[in-house]
Amino acid sequence: MRYYPDPARDLDVGLVNDAIEEAFAEQGRGNVQMPPKVYINLERGDFRTMPAYIPSMNIAGVKIVNVHPGNPGLGLPTVMALTVILDVETGVPLAILNATDLTDLRTGAAGAVAAKYLSPRRTIRLGLVGSGRQALAQLQAIARELPVEEVLVWSRDGKNAESFCRRISESFACRSVALPDACGCDIVVTTTPSREPLVKSEWIGEGTHINAIGADAPGKEELDPVILERARVFVDDPVQAVHSGEVNVPIGKGIFSAGQIAGTLGELVLGKKKRESESEITVFDSTGLAIQDLVLARLVLEKPDGFIELKFP
């Protein structure tokens, strides 16, 4: 059994995007086993258990990931993860991966795949609502699919947005801006832990595509529900989205319904669904799927090094 302490290092973002796109294609074809993630609530956070199996890729396993919002005050990441990979033929554990950085990468890549299929244009201005680790992962992944002219970043603390811009200044033109300005871009990516709508409908122009990433647990939401009414809303997984995605609070309040979901990212990848006009607003509601973690683990396991051997059984 292998342990990978730092498996995200040296992973190519383009390869990651391709692997994630293929995972969504397999899901769209109905070729995966993936029960909804299971939540355990702890006093200061929660953890989620995410098993899955992709037969065509011969990979099966489980990601275990926590969310503890108070962790940064203790010098720890909010989100940390382990992925366990089992041999499909015998069930023997093959590998354990430190999946903290992989989780950032795979969530960013899902946003990139959604942007590739739903962007209103080929060269984009990118608005980032939130400037943390996931904002950076989304930018880096999206930039591999679409040329990014300019990045407009909003953060509740403007210093964080400025620091974000300095960090990416060698590769991107970037400005710290007011929230309405970040929302005025071709593609808007929301990555905050908000539990009330931050993004007002009046700030979102026709043709905008939004990656709604932050809402990943019951009670979380970032978008004015009026935006969902105006938009075509795509999800990664309908069951998870209804339970814990951007649509979970509006559905709970009866102002949006599961029947209004336009389709899945898998259907977009397979060409079964698509953006239908330049003017329509599209939303990708991401909750994060176990199959994303599996395909990244598969990329890692192909590498000839970066692990230590552990005795098992």
Q: Could you list the active site residues?
A: 63
88 is an interface residue for a copy of itself by CB under 8 A? yes
* Beta carbon nearer to a copy of itself, 67 or 231: 67
**φ, ψ at 152 (rounded to 5°):** -110, 120
- Least distance CB 114 / a copy of itself (angstroms): 26
262 is an interface residue for a copy of itself by CB under 8 A? no
Helices (H), 29-132: 100-118
47 is an interface residue for a copy of itself by CB under 8 A? yes
219 is an interface residue for a copy of itself by CB under 8 A? no
CA distance 67 to 47: 6
Residue 285 contacts residue 245 (beta carbons within 8 Å)? yes
Closest CA to 29 of 267, 268, 287: 267
Residue 55 contacts residue 31 (beta carbons within 8 Å)? yes
Binding mask 65-84 for a copy of itself (x = CB under 8 A): -xxx--x--x-xx--x-x-x
CA distance 281 to 260: 14
**Paired tokens of 40:** 């355990």
Residue 29 contacts residue 241 (beta carbons within 8 Å)? no
**Paired tokens of 213:** 């990433």
- Least distance CB 198 / a copy of itself (angstroms): 25
User: Which residues, in sequence order, are bridge partners of residue 148?
Assistant: 124
* Beta carbon nearer to a copy of itself, 170 or 309: 309
* Beta carbon nearer to a copy of itself, 17 or 100: 100
Choose one: 89-97, 151-159, 185-193, 205-213; the region binding a copy of itself (CB under 8 A). 89-97
* Beta carbon nearer to a copy of itself, 79 or 174: 79
Among 10, 14, 42, 159, binds a copy of itself (CB under 8 A): 42
45 is an interface residue for a copy of itself by CB under 8 A? yes
Omega cis (within 30) before 313:
yes
15 is an interface residue for a copy of itself by CB under 8 A? no
Site for a copy of itself in 169-198 (CB under 8 A): none
Q: 């355990």: which residue's tokens?
A: 40
How are the residues of the chain apportioned to helix, strand and coil, as percentages rounded to the nearest 5?
Answer: 35, 25, 40
43 is an interface residue for a copy of itself by CB under 8 A? yes
Q: Which helix (H) or strand (E) holds 250?
A: helix 248-252
Packing angle, helices 100-118 and 133-143, rounded to 10: 50
98 is an interface residue for a copy of itself by CB under 8 A? yes
Among 92, 173, 178, 258, binds a copy of itself (CB under 8 A): 92
- Least distance CB 236 / a copy of itself (angstroms): 18
Binding site for a copy of itself (CB under 8 A): 3, 5-6, 33, 35, 38, 40-45, 47, 49, 51-53, 55, 60, 62, 64, 66-68, 71, 74, 76-77, 80, 82, 84, 86, 88-93, 96, 98, 100, 308, 310-313
